[in-house]
């Protein structure tokens, strides 16, 4: 019976930690605080090409001619993006990619060999987590010589360490086909507090001015109405009123008392019958009083 074939020996998984670089995240007691950026070697790798660097997942390593490689392979491997604008990253040969998602945006990490160095490597990448407070971060591959080792914290500790003075990363130019990301994206959500306060104050002052103007207008209208009512002329008996003699008074029998005759009675400015009554007319007194014949016309 042939001997059983031994199982293939799998290569030991490398569990080492790759130090990406150190970032100045602020000061505490006048001492800078450095956050170290790391990731497990089993999860990915780093590479540089020209002035670019990239951090790639382990799944982006390929077999080329029977051997593993971590070189950037455009369109198939981990692309070293050359520029970004808003939510789009650009690579060599016209390759582009969009940072999708609710928080999708492109970011850049500028890595210097050490503090004070002028040459830097730029990493451009997409992120969908929205966990980056800055669009551009500065890293140092080596910790500065004057750094206090006790001031170095891990990435998880850095997120929970309150720094008394936040030290934003210095800006670095990133190649872009059109322009760098707008300054509006670098502003914190609370940056418009002063503008909101001014808007609220202006609204309150404007409302008070409208109320004051309305009050003055109402007082003016009321005063003018009273003045008009006090100075209104009393209708004349010989005007164009419906009853030129006014409202007749009621007698004790409940009937209106007829107006007395006036030989010069006028209506609308003209004498009625030359100011004389017809001889056939007479005056009568109501309430059962005998009639008195009018004196005949002379």
The three-state secondary structure class of 35 is: strand
Judge whether 24 lies within some domain.
yes
> How far is 173 from 108, CA to CA, in rounded Å?
10
Tracing tokens 């002063």 back to the chain, one arrives at: 194
**Is pLDDT at 96 greater than 80 in this prediction?**
yes
Q: What pLDDT is attached to residue 54?
A: 85
Judge whether 194 lies within some domain.
no
> How far is 56 from 46, CA to CA, in rounded Å?
6
- Which alpha helices (H) appear in the chain, and where do they start and end? 155-160, 193-230
Q: If you average pLDDT over every residue of the chain, what do you get?
A: 63
**Two tokens, residue 39:** 């990731």
Please give the average per-residue pLDDT across 202-206, as a whole number.
66
**In contact, 261 and 283? CB cutoff 8 Å:** yes
Query: CA 98 → CA 25, 175, 186, distances in Å?
Result: 29, 17, 20
**In contact, 213 and 162? CB cutoff 8 Å:** no
> How far is 262 from 256, CA to CA, in rounded Å?
18
**Do strands 67-69 and 62-64 pair parallel, antiparallel, or not at all (unpaired)?**
antiparallel
In order, the DSSP letters of 193-225 are HHHHHHHHHHHHHHHHHHHHHHHHHHHHHHHHH
Which percentage of the chain shows pLDDT scores above 70? 45
Judge whether 31 lies within some domain.
yes
Judge whether 121 lies within some domain.
yes
Judge whether 222 lies within some domain.
no
Judge whether 166 lies within some domain.
yes
Could you count the other beta carbons within 10 Å of the beta carbon of residue 77? 19
pLDDT tens string 208-238: 777 887 888 888 888 777 765 555 444 434 4
Provide the domain count of the chain.
1
More confidently predicted of 258 and 162 = 258
**Two tokens, residue 248:** 């007749």
Domain that includes residue 74, residue range: 17-177
**Is pLDDT at 17 greater than 70 in this prediction?**
yes
Judge whether 128 lies within some domain.
yes
More confidently predicted of 290 and 162 = 290
Judge whether 235 lies within some domain.
no
**Is pLDDT at 86 greater than 70 in this prediction?**
yes
């Amino acid at each position: 019976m042939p001997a059983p074939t031994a199982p293939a020996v799998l290569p030991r998984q490398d569990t080492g930690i790759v130090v990406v670089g150190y970032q100045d995240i602020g000061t505490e007691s006048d001492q800078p605080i450095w956050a170290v950026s790391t990731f497990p070697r089993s999860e990915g790798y780093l590479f540089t090409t020209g002035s670019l660097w990239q951090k790639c997942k382990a799944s982006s390593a390929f077999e080329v001619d029977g051997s593993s490689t971590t070189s950037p392979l455009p369109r198939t491997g981990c692309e070293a993006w050359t520029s970004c604008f808003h939510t789009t990253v650009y690579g060599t040969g016209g390759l582009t990619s969009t940072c999708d998602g609710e928080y999708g945006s492109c970011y850049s990490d500028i890595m210097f060999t050490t503090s004070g160095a002028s040459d830097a490597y730029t990493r451009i990448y997409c992120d969908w987590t929205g966990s980056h407070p800055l669009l551009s971060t500065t890293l140092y591959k080596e910790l500065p010589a004057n750094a206090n080792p006790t001031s170095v914290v891990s990435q998880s500790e850095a997120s929970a360490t309150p720094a008394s003075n936040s030290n934003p990363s210095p800006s670095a130019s990133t190649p872009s086909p059109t322009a760098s990301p707008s300054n509006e994206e670098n502003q914190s959500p609370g940056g418009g507090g002063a503008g909101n306060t001014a808007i609220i104050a202006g609204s309150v002052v404007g409302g008070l001015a409208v109320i004051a103007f309305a009050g003055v207008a109402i007082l003016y209208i009321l005063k003018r109405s009273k003045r008009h009512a006090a100075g209104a002329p009393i209708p004349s008996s010989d005007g164009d009123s419906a009853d030129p003699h006014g409202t007749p008074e009621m007698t004790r029998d409940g009937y209106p008392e007829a107006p007395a005759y006036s030989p010069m009675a006028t209506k609308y400015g003209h004498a009625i019958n030359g100011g004389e009554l017809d001889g056939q007319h007479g005056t009568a007194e109501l309430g059962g009083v005998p009639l008195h014949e009018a004196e005949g016309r002379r």
